[in-house]
Amino acid sequence: MRFVTEEEVQKTLPVRKCIEVLRDAFSREFINIPRYRLKSANSLLHVMSASIPSLGIIGLKTYATTKSNASFVVVLFDEQSGELRALLEADSLGQIRTGAASGLATDLLANPQSKIGAIFGSGYQAETQLLAIDAVRRFDEIRVFSPTSEKRYRFVVNMQSRVDSKLREVASGEECATNADVICTITSSREPVLKGAWLKPGCHVNAAGSNASIRREVDEDVVKRSSLICVDHREQSKIEAGDLIGVISDWSSVFELSDLVLGKVRRNHPEDITFFKSNGVAVEDIAAAHFILQMLGDPISQGHSKSK
């Protein structure tokens, strides 16, 4: 059994590569069990599990959160033998795969000629959202907005050397979104930070900041104006996607990342608004963990099932 540290995760799993890891994972048959939460006196335990038989892996991510702390691990088993293969520290892993999921959705849904990007949020998770969209489109500029001017300024200064696009901080959400081709919301807000009235025809939106039914980063108009709505996992979204719960009446009209990867659905028209709601799912975590083990020279034996 191998123990993988945060430092090893950061060295072996760049966002650009993780996008391709997720593209491969979502092209395969997999089983994904939505996150469930155990509330204790002082903390909350979160558990989410998945299996990708054709990669020979089954495992889970679990983490405990309090008001001041969070600790994340991924546990990976050999799907055929049941052998415990690895325990990975997973704070950075979660950050990277969350950004990569938005990057994959952007690559599959955003107009190829997108020139203006927008990021709502300037925290830890915003870093990989920025890296991911910069990896899949050639933007003239990416705007950054968060309520605290000092934080967004520091974010732009720290991240400019890591991306090809020119970064520009802006002073309002409306300025950030107006005429943007690709928009990412990655905030801790309980109330909408992005309004549908601000969206240009043909734009793509990634909403990745919330995985709680009581939180909503985008208003109802964002969802209602979207011609194509995609999630990472439909059943988990019915539980966690506050941006969609109560707005979506027919969940069969909501597609999954696997549908996009397999070519079952795509943008139909350049003027369509497309929307990806990211909750974060276990199949992403175990696929990323599997790749990390491969890069560290400790591969798990491949399974025998065919890809989809």
Question: What residues pair up with 86 in beta bridges, in sequence order?
Answer: 2, 76
Quick: pLDDT tens for 279-296: 999 999 999 999 999 999
- Residue 154, helix vs strand vs coil: helix
- Asked whether the predicted pLDDT for residue 187 surpasses 50, the reply is yes
What CATH homologous superfamily does 2-94+282-295 map to? ornithine cyclodeaminase, domain 1 (3.30.1780.10)
Q: How far apart are CA 60 and CA 13, in angstroms?
A: 18
Domain positions in the chain are 2-94+282-295, 111-277
Q: What is the mean pLDDT of residues 123-146?
A: 98
Burial label for 163, CB within 10 Å (0-12, 13-18, 19+), is: middle
Q: How far apart are CA 42 and CA 60, in angstroms?
A: 23
pLDDT attached to residue 270: 95
57-69 burial by CB neighbour count: b if 16+ within 10 A, else e? bbbbbbbbeeeee
pLDDT class of 211 with cuts at 50, 70, 90: confident
pLDDT class of 305 with cuts at 50, 70, 90: very low
- Residue 255, helix vs strand vs coil: strand
Q: How far apart are CA 209 and CA 126, in angstroms?
A: 9
Structurally, at CATH architecture level, domain 111-277 sits in: 3-Layer(aba) Sandwich (3.40)
Q: Which amino acid is at 240?
A: E
pLDDT attached to residue 214: 80
Q: How far apart are CA 227 and CA 209, in angstroms?
A: 21
| Intrachain domains 2-94+282-295 and 111-277 with the same fold | no
- Asked whether the predicted pLDDT for residue 303 surpasses 70, the reply is no
Q: Which amino acid is at 284?
A: E
H or E element in which residue 275 lies: strand 274-277
Q: How far apart are CA 78 and CA 42, in angstroms?
A: 34
- Residue 128, helix vs strand vs coil: helix
